[in-house]
Amino acid sequence: MIERIKRSELMSRVWEMKNMGYRLVTMSSVDNGEDIEYIYHFDKDLDMVNFAISVPHGENPESISGIYGSALLVENEIQDHFGVSFTGLALDFNGAFFLEDEVHRAPFCAMSIKRLESNAEGGE
Amino acid sequence: MAPTVIPFGPQHPVLPEPLHLQITVVDEVVTEVLPKLGFVHRGLENLVLKRDIHQMVQVVERVCGICSCIHAHTYCMALEELMDVQVPPRANYLRVIWGELHRIHSHLLWLGLLADAFGFESLFMQCWKIREKIMDVQEATSGNRVIVSVNVVGGVRRELTPDQCTWILEILEEVEKDILEIKQVFIDDFSVQKRTRGVGILSREDAYESGAVGPTLRGSGVAQDVRQSGYGAYADLDFQPVTETDGDSYSRAKVRFREVLQSIDLVRQAISKLPQGESRVKVKGWPEGETISRTEQPRGELMYYIRADGTKHLERMRIRTPTFANIPGMLKMLPGVDLANIPVAVLSIDPCISCTER
């Protein structure tokens, strides 16, 4: 149901979805401990296509907001909740989309990590 | 004139929910909009780590007060798939009946709020007066006016007696008559059209491209509705998505107005075909694996992603609510809107920030 793909294949697969006329439903993310899994959900005429990549903690995943503009909201949400930073994010709220600037925890991570370098002093 | 930045919300006389928009205007015309969320974020998704799968039914019902029943339906569908549970046909029909009653009351609530937004107070009161009849049905059949707590994993925990079904049909006849009376005002009146026609136009391409769902998508001419997939008992009911093509606030209002009548028809169909028998099966064990479940809420497509590891707690529950999907569409429709029409355009997506912030 959810295909696991290599991280290097992500952009080409997302472009493929775009060119085939699929709508981005949303992204989901799961903290697996060693890594964070990002699941991409697409739909066309009620037919869903789902694939996922795994990215180790501490590494930044690539944003797909350059391909699907609507991804910027969910990617900002994931940044807030999982303490990650997407590279190439079209509109980056720097971890303060859902959370306030003074919040230093990533609440959805099993092990909380600091979100931003500038927050390092108060980070947990 | 130099651009002026105006904060819209989180507290606004028209918008009862805490959404903040940073709106840039030039000569009172919107040129750019930036959203800010998080004023009532509750972290309900994370509660799966602390509440077992059956307790979570009550939690997801509280993701949104307006469509509590459909949240629980979606969640239960996901778990039933993971646990290979066959829900009795009667339960599927009962879920459709309560779900469509929810849609009627949600749309009537929104139609009233829209009338309030453009200053038509008597129309607002008429809509909410009609809605009260549906709230009475919900209270009488589920015990609550708003949080209709009927779903459980494996079926439903409330029943509808033949007398209750007859009474619901009588109430729906009254509601239909009332709705058709206000149709002349809502759909045909000059003043309503003056405030909604051409306001917040979202083209068919932009609606699809931005991932819009529900009446926001269908108001731009895209005939997509998750009920077409036939979940629950929808496969046995006669159903076609309601669409309008102008893509403005008036189109979105017309879609919801027509959907109220459609939901009345769906409840009638479901009651006329309501099978006899059990409405719940016993569920044993704990789920394992991952699945995706989708339903059509009053505001559009609702999606749950669930991952379970065979224990009583889920590993992850992700909820994508329809308002979250409609925000990019709203950001597309606002540039070019007059300052005075911003509340109408924002309201036209029927924003539910309670859902969005989960």
All structural domains of chain A, each given as residue ranges with its CATH number in brackets, are 1-124 (3.30.460.80)
Contacts of B291 (CB under 8 A, 6+ apart): A1, B78, B81, B82, B305, B306
* Average pLDDT value for chain B: 91
Q: Compare CB distances from B211 to A25, A39, A48 and report the shortest one's residue.
A: A25
Phi and psi, residue A62, nearest 5°: -85, 140
Specify the pTM.
0.90
Distance CA A59, CA A56 (A): 6
Question: Around Cβ B230, how many Cβ atoms within 10 Å?
Answer: 13
- Chain B residues closer than 8 Å to A1 by CB: 290-292
Contact B201, B348 (CB under 8 A): no
Q: How many CA atoms lie within 13 A of B89 on its CB side?
A: 9
Contacts of B201 (CB under 8 A, 6+ apart): B246, B247, B248, B333, B336
Stretch B63-72: mean pLDDT: 87
Look at residue B280 and give its three-state secondary structure: strand
Question: Around Cβ B164, how many Cβ atoms within 10 Å?
Answer: 15
Q: Who wins on pLDDT, A101 or B73?
A: B73
Phi and psi, residue B23, nearest 5°: -105, 125
Residue A114 pLDDT = 46
> Which residues does B contribute to its contact with A (CB < 8 Å)?
34-38, 41, 43, 45-46, 208-211, 224, 226, 228-229, 290-292, 294, 301, 303, 305, 307, 315-316, 318, 320, 324-325, 327-328, 357
Q: Would the pLDDT of B309 be above 50?
A: yes
Q: Kindly report which listed range (A62-76, A109-123, B129-143, B162-176) carries the lowest average pLDDT score.
A: A109-123
> Which residues does A contribute to its contact with B (CB < 8 Å)?
1-2, 23-26, 28-30, 39, 41, 45-46, 48, 50, 68-70, 72-74, 80, 91, 97-100, 107-108
Share of chain B above pLDDT 90, in %: 63
Q: Would the pLDDT of A121 be above 50?
A: no
Comparing CA positions, the residue from A37, A26, A75, A7 lying closest to residue B316 is A37
Share of chain B above pLDDT 70, in %: 100
Q: Would the pLDDT of B156 be above 60?
A: yes
Interface predicted TM-score (ipTM) of this complex, two decimals = 0.89
A45: left (phi over 0), alpha (psi -120 to 50) or beta: left
Q: Return the percent helix, strand and coil in chain A, to nearest 5.
A: 25, 25, 50
Q: Would the pLDDT of B28 be above 50?
A: yes
Residue B339 pLDDT = 87
For chain B, state the CA radius of gyration: 20
For residue B152, CA distances in Å to B12, B83, B156 come to: 37, 13, 5
Instruction: Tell if the CB–CB gap between A46 and B226 is shorter than 8 Å.
Output: yes
